[in-house]
Amino acid sequence: MENATTNSPCEEEPKQDEHASAPQAQEAGGWRSVYYIIGNESFEKLASMSLISNLTMYLLTRYNLSAIFVVNVVQIWNGSSNVASIIGAFISDTYLGRFRTLLFGSIASLLGILIMTLTAGIHQLRPANCTDRPHCQWPQLWQLGILFFALAMLSVGAGGIRPCNIAFGADQFDTKTEKGRAQLESFFNWWYFTFTIALVIALTGIVYIQTNVSWTLGFAIPTLCLAFSIAIFLIGQHTYIRKKPQGSVFSDMAKVITAVCRKCKLKTSDRTRYYDPGPSELDHNNVRLVRTDRFKFLEKAAIISDPSELNEQLKPKNVWRLCSLQQVEELKCLLGILPVWVTGICCFIVMDQQNTFGVLQVIQTNRSIGKHFKVPPGWMNLVSMVALSIWIFIYECIYIRVTKKINKKATRLSMSLRIRIGILLSILCMLVAAIVEQKRRDSALRAKSFTSPMSFAVLLPQFALSGLNEALRCCVHNGILHHGDAREHEDCGWCCFLSELVNCKLLRIIDCEHYP
């Protein structure tokens, strides 16, 4: 890789840096900065994924909580983390900027995982260990309070990290040049490569240590990794391009809706004047959106009903009464992606089922391989990763090459077709999971045991289908970005939150005997 800085306009405008001086700004950005960002992200993901993948097992075995209560806690925590990501995106875009949002989020995550490590190492912070389920001592309220505070800090940390990590890395390149775009594409490849390596280590080595060696050691390792991640991030701070906050799409949405309500009685005509500033006057978008004919009523927000609405510089005096056509088109894009957005909720529901109920199914099956080894329940997520990787290999390296030979050009599956396939796979995944669960429960009742004599291998198909659903879930993300100039972390954050909410609602119709 070329260790060179990009010729970004940000280098010539040191005023856009939050704290850096002019000489520092001239040397900022490029691969010199990205090395630190990728190192920070790798250790952060190693820490967070090693906790997320095995949290269900930890709460069941160390807090003596019922399975239904554990699922509720995990789903609410996941949903809260996704809502926090939306709030974090707004704060980052409007007030703090990505660097400080990332830093504060990392510190909050470190505090949360440190408290989790203390709960594993200090026996007084949790109930006594118990093997006689379901007749175990429940944790006291203050013990649950400490646990929930730790999870809350992890959610706050996720809110700062998730919406900013990859975006902050992209800020280091000048995408207006061909060289910058090529470097950005290479950055994405390396980012996902290091993310995958961190995920594999977390799901194998650290999960094994947590389950079979020591929970204290299994949590201490990710705590140290997160502390090391923050150290790397701070060491490279003098190399970063730090763009000033430039406003959130949510603010513009609120302004357009308010202006439309104020001007709802206005009628348009051929002589209607619209506020349409030039490209150089746009607030925070480098790409000027083309005016469309959909949702025409929203354009009332940009009607200049009275010349007095503009000041001497021909800009709106009240941005809550007069908006630009650019802002109106942004809201149109967000409304246009609602069908794709709703589709994403269904896909997330299926994947969340495997991370909670799927893990419970694994716990209540025969996990033995030979006489001396039991598969950690957290390892089942590796099946989804393998299925995802196989799909990407087949699609990119076989399908596209074959279609290129046949059609003389590479032919890719359309976005809508891939989304429809993903929906069908979601349905198939849940059908398979339901059939397997019925057989698992029947065999456990016949054996009059909490654990079914069935092998955990019968659960492999549903985890594999979940991995394929994950591969096609990216199409939902891309569909959102394709149909509108929206931010992925904001829209998909809502998808995740609503999926967690639906999962919690599902618990009300589940027979508690299924998961004693």
Under a CB-based contact definition with an 8 Å cutoff, are residues 184 and 173 in contact? yes
Under a CB-based contact definition with an 8 Å cutoff, are residues 225 and 42 in contact? no
393 pLDDT more than 70: yes
C-alpha torsion sign, points 200, 205, 208, 210: negative
Q: Which of 280-284, 312-316, 374-378, 443-447 has the highest mean pLDDT?
A: 443-447
DSSP one-letter code for 366: B
| Per-residue pLDDT band at 164 (split at 50, 70, 90) | confident
Amino acid at 464: A
**The pair of three-digit structure tokens given for residue 394, joined into one six-digit string:** 């087949």
pLDDT one-digit tens code per residue, 204-228 = 888 889 888 889 999 999 999 999 9
Strand partners, 455: 366
Under a CB-based contact definition with an 8 Å cutoff, are residues 204 and 382 in contact? yes
Per cent of the chain over pLDDT 90 is 11
DSSP-assigned states of every residue in 287-317:
SPPPP-STTGGGGGGGB--SGGGB-TTS-BS
486 pLDDT more than 80: no
Question: What is the predicted pLDDT for the residue at 116?
Answer: 93
Question: What is the predicted pLDDT for the residue at 473?
Answer: 62
DSSP three-state, residue 276 = coil
CA nearest to 353, candidates 437, 424, 438, 479: 437
State mean pLDDT over 364-386: 82
Q: CA-CA distance, 1 to 119, in Å (whole number)?
A: 43
DSSP one-letter code for 395: I
24 pLDDT more than 50: no
| Per-residue pLDDT band at 118 (split at 50, 70, 90) | very high
DSSP-assigned states of every residue in 171-236:
TTS-TTSHHHHHHHHHHHHHHHHHHHHHHHHIIIIIHHIIIII-HHHHHHHHHHHHHHHHHHHHHT
Q: Which residue has the higher pLDDT, 257 or 493?
A: 257
Question: What is the predicted pLDDT for the residue at 333?
Answer: 83
CA nearest to 299, candidates 251, 266, 336, 277: 266
489 pLDDT more than 60: no
Q: Which residues contact 510 (CB under 8 A, 6 or more apart)?
A: 68
Q: CA-CA distance, 474 to 141, in Å (whole number)?
A: 40
CA nearest to 255, candidates 247, 265, 244, 243: 247
What is the H or E stretch that residue 88 is in? helix 67-91
Q: CA-CA distance, 155 to 497, in Å (whole number)?
A: 12
Cβ-based neighbour number of residue 189 at 10 Å = 10
* Domains annotated on the chain, with CATH: 26-246 (1.20.1250.20), 249-277+287-323 (no CATH), 337-479 (no CATH)
Strand partners, 374: 368
Q: CA-CA distance, 5 to 11, in Å (whole number)?
A: 10
Tokens 């094994």 — which residue? 208
pTM: predicted TM-score of the whole model, two decimal places: 0.72
